Structure 1
Amino acid sequence: MPTVIIAGAGLVGALNACFFAQRGWNVQVYEYRKDIRTMAHVQGRSINLALSQRGKSALEAVGLREYIVNQGVPMYARLVHNKDGKTYSRQPYGRPGEHIVSINRRHLNEVMITQAEKCPNVKFFFEHKVKNVDVDKGSITVQSLAKVSRIPRPGQSPPRTEDTTEQTIQGDLIIACDGAYSAVRRSLMTFPRFNYSQEYIEHGYVELNILPKSDEFALEENVFHLWPRGHFTLIALANKDKTFTVTIFAPFAEFEKHMSNTTDVLNFFRENFPDAYELLGRDHIADTFSRVKPQPLISLKCAPHHFGDNILLMGDAAHAMVPFYGQGMNCGFEDCLVYSDILNQYPMDIPRSLKEYSRVRVKDAHTINDLAMYNYEELRDLVNHTSYKLRKKFDMWLNRIMPETWIPLYSMVTFSRIPYSKVVENRRWQDKIVSRFNKIICTSTVVGVIAVASFAAYRQKIPPFNKF
């Protein structure tokens, strides 16, 4: 059977291992970190994940959907908290029953690694750093990070570190799932006709936690809690252990100006998120901001996603995005499913399958990157605008009447597998219809006003009716 080399044992790498294990391929996964299942604390981003239809479909293909969904907390709506800390509004995500699932990143990763390892043809190599890739040879260079004893055995010379820790590995297929700062992608930067762009947005984030209250959820658990405040926002997602992961997103300038010391950050939270402030607690807020610096957010695009005859980029290595549409993981999981379907079409032709993957996936990846950037504006501000609320109600009303014809933007992204690029095309068509409808309404209103005014003027010219 063919051998697939996977760089990275994160979410997308581990899921890919499950897909190829099902095919019976020999699978080798090289991961920079230690085995997270043995670690007390895993460094890195832990923003809770929102599992939606695209991710569920990929998990279903490897038999993990039901288990994973049951490990999460369903969310049926946004709960928008007003600044007074007492009132809020509810905005359902879709039709009754449609929901996303708040899931713990680490647990999901651990489950998929364990699932893949059940197959004897899968091998994970932790503490192995992928350094680069050779397109011509179709190989990667990997360095073992495990400590090597330099004490010579009797009658032997001390081992040469470079000989014992670094090796070149070849496979029939190499898939880079090694994240936004991918070593594989970095080594391809000089490859002819490889287009690449990245952007650090002017906003960062800090994570906090709300603990259970009397051993129960301190907030309503089956909603996405949102505190939109114009140019910054706070969100909270429930966890299975009855805690909430809370994240504040704000411009770095805002962090520096209003959250750089304990007094300022406490005043900032008390003023802007009074209800969340009470649940978080002043000590937790103060301690978190004294230890943690705001983390950056990157948006990354590249094209193509394949190189040579056997190298492919997936997940954040190909399309890292800001987290505001909850599609980073879902898009990465769908990458695995899309390529699996393409391999079914070309089972004996890896080069052709890679070209086809780039052809169908690059445009969609670029599209969801742009949508994720747009959705931040929605989360931090637009959800409070009357025009936004009216459009959402209008979309839901038409969706009830024509469920197959008129699907709201959020529903297309979150509750379907309509290609992202097609989602945007459909939305443009909807916007044209709405624009024409608005023109008709405006024209009718103007005509009505003119008619009423004309009739009133006419009545003023008619002499009063006199009785005989």
Structure 2
Amino acid sequence: MEEHASKNGYQKKLSVAIVGGGLVGSLAALFFAKRGHDVHLFEYREDIRKTPQVRGRSINLSLSSRAWSALNEVGLQSSMAQHGLPMQGRMIHSLHGDTKSIPYDRRTNQCIYSVGRKYLNEVLLTATEKYSNVNLYFQHKLVSANLEEGRLTFLITTSNKTVERCFDLVVGADGAFSTVRRCMMKQPLFDFSQTYIEHGYLELCIPPTKEGQFAMPYKYLHIWPRGEFMMIALPNQDQSWTVTLFMPFVKFKQLDTPEALLKFFNTNFPDAIPLIGKDKLISDFFKGKPLPLVSIKCQPYHISNKAIIVGDAAHAMVPFYGQGMNAGFEDCLLLDRLLTKHGSKLDLVLKEFSEIRVKDAHAICDLAMYNYVEMRDLVMRRTFIMRKKLDDFLHWLMPSKWVPLYNSVTFTDMGYSKCITNRKWQDKV
């Protein structure tokens, strides 16, 4: 094999197949391309840059420190910073229409950033095309794989023909219902579990005002917590809001007529009706259907020195901590650092990746589940607000010793499992 220079001396030039051309797959392609490897990125859909966005599947992304670190390594931090809309805290909407802001970080005013999924995917894909050693294959569906040999078989959906290829390394970044992971499950000692929650989500939209402005203060993640269910809204570049209603499926089924829908919103989200508009609310609600939310845990994330899974393929999570994409991007960054550490010794790289990542990935999956309870219920409780103020004060007093749970998850690169351990220590104190 051809060899090339790296930070760790010389390493072999690998042929790398990345299955999945979404956010994490595209970022992984950039990391491998920077190292000079031959990268082949396979995506079963059409090129997202040439197709309209599919409605109802685009829960806005929240960029935080972990994603920024990864984007910075591939030179995309500044371009995304210009696009992202900063959210400095939560804006809580009461039943009576009153609002209360809860800053994420009173001490240093750190923000998370609202970014459109399609836009970020387009930026990443376009960035890969700047490398001559990256090859993009759209409408290629993985149908079978021998991962121990690095052999993949794809169906080209435009011609209904199959093609077989062999690679030194296979990276599965093909989402929560990963075909690569399904092939891994045939291996002995592979653990897998998935949990569907009884709540689904449906996407709505608050349009800009007649003057073309945001209809609400835009530097916040807006939340309508209602105990058993909730609604959130994230700002978009065009001054609209992506609104997502999270609710038990049984409640969605009860809203089967426009009258039932309007009665439900008048009771639970009265201030949102004039923002969305009655006609638009009815149209958008009945145009789509509630979609499920799944949490997936598995281990290990690799097979020998030939295959690895990252992102949702390894650890799909419910979206309530805004860490799904951030964790996936951190996967890519960790994998790149291990390649720097071990060079072309893929057996060491992949083994250590699994050893390091599994514990943290399981931790953030659990945290994401917990945060749904916090967002839809606890944020309205007096005890929660008092604890939040105490955490903020102690963080101000001892910024390096007392880091609140949300801050450690969102604004640091502390391991997710350590974030939980740190919180348990704080609870004891």
TM-score normalised by length of structure 2: 0.95
1:207 paired residue number: 203
Q: Is the 8 A contact 1:58 1:333 kept in 2?
A: yes
Matched, 1:142 2:154: yes
Shift of 1:308: 2.4
Equivalent residue in structure 1 for 2:240, among 243, 255, 264: 243
In structure 1, the residue corresponding to 2:198 is in which secondary structure?
strand
In structure 2, the residue corresponding to 1:240 is in which secondary structure?
coil
Distance 1:215 1:229 in 2: 30
Q: Is the 8 A contact 2:304 2:351 kept in 1?
A: no
Distance 1:22 1:184 in 2: 24
Shift of 1:321: 0.3
Shift of 1:195: 0.1
Shift of 1:295: 0.4
For residues 60-99 of structure 1, the aligned pairs below 5 Å read 60-85=72-97, 87-94=98-105, 95-99=107-111
1:268 paired residue number: 264
Matched, 1:118 2:130: yes
**CA gap 1:71/1:376 in 2 versus in 1, 3 angstroms:** same
The alignment covers a number of residue pairs equal to 415
Q: Is the 8 A contact 1:262 1:289 kept in 2?
A: no
Distance 1:301 1:429 in 2: 25
In structure 2, the residue corresponding to 1:295 is in which secondary structure?
coil
Shift of 1:31: 0.3
1:416 paired residue number: 412
2:231 paired residue number: 234
Distance 1:209 1:228 in 2: 18
In structure 2, the residue corresponding to 1:187 is in which secondary structure?
helix
Shift of 1:170: 1.2
Q: Is the 8 A contact 1:141 1:169 kept in 2?
A: yes
Shift of 1:96: 3.4
Distance 2:276 2:212 in 1: 15
For residues 168-187 of structure 1, the aligned pairs below 5 Å read 168-187=164-183
Distance 1:295 1:11 in 2: 20
Shift of 1:40: 2.5
**CA gap 1:44/1:90 in 2 versus in 1, 3 angstroms:** closer
Which deviates the most, 401-410 or 87-96?
A: 87-96
Distance 2:115 2:158 in 1: 32
Residue-by-residue CA offset, 1:209-264 (whole Å, 9 max, x unaligned): 1111011111110001000000000000001111100000001111112x222111
Equivalent residue in structure 2 for 1:321, among 317, 320, 326: 317
TM-score normalised by length of structure 1: 0.87
1:456 paired residue number: none
Shift of 1:103: 0.3
Q: Is the 8 A contact 1:135 1:308 kept in 2?
A: no
Distance 2:327 2:246 in 1: 22
1:252 paired residue number: 249
Which deviates the most, 295-304 or 273-282?
A: 273-282
Equivalent residue in structure 1 for 2:28, among 4, 16, 21: 16
Distance 1:63 1:385 in 2: 42
Residue-by-residue CA offset, 1:395-451 (whole Å, 9 max, x unaligned): 010000100000000000000000001111111111110xxxxxxxxxxxxxxxxxx
Q: Is the 8 A contact 2:172 2:308 kept in 1?
A: yes
Residue type of the partner of 1:272?
Answer: N
In structure 2, the residue corresponding to 1:5 is in which secondary structure?
strand
Distance 2:302 2:26 in 1: 19
Distance 2:256 2:364 in 1: 33
Matched-pair identity in %: 47
In structure 1, the residue corresponding to 2:177 is in which secondary structure?
coil
Distance 1:355 1:132 in 2: 24
In structure 2, the residue corresponding to 1:168 is in which secondary structure?
strand
Q: Is the 8 A contact 2:310 2:328 kept in 1?
A: yes
1:279 paired residue number: 275
Residue type of the partner of 1:247?
Answer: T
Shift of 1:310: 1.1
2:121 paired residue number: 109
Distance 2:214 2:426 in 1: 39
Residue-by-residue CA offset, 1:149-169 (whole Å, 9 max, x unaligned): xxxxxxxxxxxx6xxx21221
Give the 4+ runs in structure 1 shifted more than 4 A: none
- Which structure's CA Rg is the greater one? 1
Shift of 1:286: 0.9
Distance 1:137 1:19 in 2: 23
Distance 2:312 2:261 in 1: 32
Distance 2:141 2:228 in 1: 39
